[in-house]
Structure 1
Amino acid sequence: MQNHSQEIVQRTELFAWQVEQLRFSGDFYIYNPLQYAWNMHEAYVRTYLSHPVKALMLGMNPGPFGMAQNGIPFGEVGAVKQFLKLDEPIAKPSIEHPSRPVLGLSVQRSEVSGKRLWALMEEHYKRADVFSKEIAIVNYCPLAFMERTKYAKNITPDKLPKVERMALEAICDRYLMDLILLLQPTYLIGVGKYALKKLQQVVSSDSRYILGSIIHPSPANPQANRNWREKTQEQLIALGLWKDA
C-alpha cells in the first residue's frame, strides 16, 4: 500500500502558509493551528493519513476546545490522548483571546463534537490503527475565527463577507481536492450540510464518489442532542460504508 504521508505533509505546509497570507476585515481573533500546533498535526497526518482509505470524512473548521487546542480535527482532548495516542509539543498563537487560551493537551474543557465523533469511531473500530485503514477525518478550513467579545463567539467560515469567504474557499477547495486525489476514497462524507456542500462542489458530478453526510455532532445542533450515535450509525449503514450488525 502506497504511503502518501510525506506528500500530504508537504501539501499541508503549503496550505498553512496560503491561508496565513489572507486578510480579513472582521474584528476577529484568528487562530491557525496548522502553525502553532504543527508538530501535533504532522504526527496526525503521518500516523492516520498515510494510506488510501475507503472514506474521507470532512468537518468545517476548528472548534475552540478541539483542533484549536491541539491541531487534530475534532480534537477532543480525551480522544487525542487515549484513542489516537498522540502527544507532541504545542505552542501558542501570536495573539490569544483572553477567554480562549491555547492549553494544548492540558485543556480541561471537552469538545463535545469531537467527543461524540471519536467515541463512535472507537466503538466501531476499537483501535485507531484499524480505524485509519478505512476512514480519514479532516477539516475543510484550518482557521478558527472568534469574535472580540467576552464570550469569544465562534464564527464559521460561511459567515464571512463574500469576497473574503471566496478567497478562503478557493484555497481550501484546492487542498481538499488534492487530499482526495492522494487518499483515493470512495465515500466522501460531510459532517453536517456545509461540509457536504463543499465536497459536492469540489468533485462536481464525478461518478467515482459516493457522497453523503452525517448529522453534525455539535450540541448547538438540536438534531445532535438526541440519539446522535444511533442516527449516525444508521446514516453510515445506509451509505454502505458500515454493515448492519
Structure 2
Amino acid sequence: MNFLSSHIKYVYDPTDYASEPSEKYIEYCQDTKEVLFVDMNPGPFGMCQTGVPFGDTEWVKNWLGIEGKIDKPLPECSARPVDGFKCTKKEQSGHRFWSLFSDLCHKPEKFFWHAFLYNYCPLAFMDSNGRNITPSGTKKKELVFYCDQYFMKTIDVLQPQIIIGIGRYTEKRLQSIVRRRNRTNKIEVLYLKHPGRPVRNNRSWHRNTKRILDKRDLLKYFQ
C-alpha cells in the first residue's frame, strides 16, 4: 500500500531494509508471553537504524547482542539518513528502556522469557524535511485498519495476559483492539509513559516504570 501523500514524502520499513537484525530480534520470541510491551512505531535513531524496537545502536549491539547487514531505504531522506550500526546518535527511548531491564534482568534472555517488545506500526513516516509524522498524524484510516488487524494476529500468537501500551496513542489503539477481539481470555491493557518524553533524568523514568510494574505484580517476571 502506498502511504505517500502531500505531507508524507518518505516511508521507512526497517523490517525490510534491516531484515537481518530484525529477524535476529524476533528469534528472542520463541513462545507465548505473559507481558507484551508495545511502542507506537520506529524512531529515527532507533529502529530506523537497527531494525530493532527502541533500537539504540549501543544497546542493540552490546546488550541484545544483535548485529547484521543493513541496506538503505528507497527513497532515503537526506535529513534522516540510515547509517545502521554506524549511527552515533543516541536514541533516548532505547537507552532508557533497555537500561532499565538490563538493571532488572541482567541478561536479555531473562527479559524475553516472559516478555516481548513490539511495535503497533512497523513503518516510519516523514515529511520533505525529515520531520517525523506519527501514525495518527498520517490521517490514513487504512493504516489504522491494517495495523489493528496485524496486531490482533500478534496478540493471538503471543497470547499475553498483560499488554503495556507505551504512550497514550498506543494504549488507545490496544484498548480498541482488545475490546473487538471477542475472546474469552481476558487481557488487561496498561499505560506506560513513553521513555522518549522529557523527564528529569533516566532514574526518574526508571523509578516510575518500576512502580507501575510493582503495583501490577509484574516485577517478578524480570527479577
Q: Distance in 2 between matches of 1:97 and 1:24?
A: 13
Is the CA contact (8 Å cut-off) linking 1:187 and 1:241 kept in structure 2? no
Change (3 A) 1:129 1:179: same
CA contact (8 A) 1:49 1:132 kept: yes
TM-score (norm 1): 0.83
1:45 aligns to what?
26
Distance 1:28 1:157 in 2: 14
Give the drift of 1:168.
0.8
Query: Counterparts of 2:67 and 2:120 in 1: how far apart (Å)?
Result: 23
Percent of paired sites with the same residue: 36
Report the alpha carbon displacement of residue 62 of structure 1 after superposing the two structures with TM: 0.5
The answer to whether residue 108 in structure 2 is matched with residue 131 in structure 1 is no
Match of 2:206 in 1: 229
Q: Scaled by the length of structure 2, what TM-score is found? A: 0.91
Is 1:117 the equivalent of 2:97? yes
Residue number in structure 2 paired with 1:172? 147
Aligned counterpart, 1:241 = 218
Q: Paired residues, what number?
A: 216
Q: What secondary structure sits across from 1:63 in the alignment?
A: coil
In 1, are the aligned partners of 2:8 and 2:125 still within 8 Å (CA)? no
- Equivalent residue in structure 1 for 2:121, among 136, 141, 147: 141
CA distance in 2 between partners of 1:169 and 1:144 (Å): 14
Partner SS for 1:68: helix
The equivalent residue for 1:181 is 156
Task: Please give the alpha-carbon distance, in whole angstroms, between the structure 2 residues aligned to 1:55 and 1:29.
Answer: 33
Matches within 5 A, 1:51-130: 51-130=31-110
Work out whether residues 214 and 236 of structure 1, in 8 Å CA contact, stay in contact via their aligned partners in 2. Answer: no
Contact kept, 8 Å, 1:22 with 1:168, in 2: the verdict is no
Aligned counterparts of 1:169 and 1:27: Cα–Cα separation in 2: 16
Amino acid at match of 2:56: E
Structure 2 stretches lacking a partner, 5+ long:
none
Q: CA RMSD in A?
A: 1.7
Contact 2:4–2:10 under 8 Å retained in 1: no
The SS at the match of 2:67 is: coil
Q: Deviations over 1:203-238 (max 9, x none)?
A: 1176611220111011xx23x345111011111111
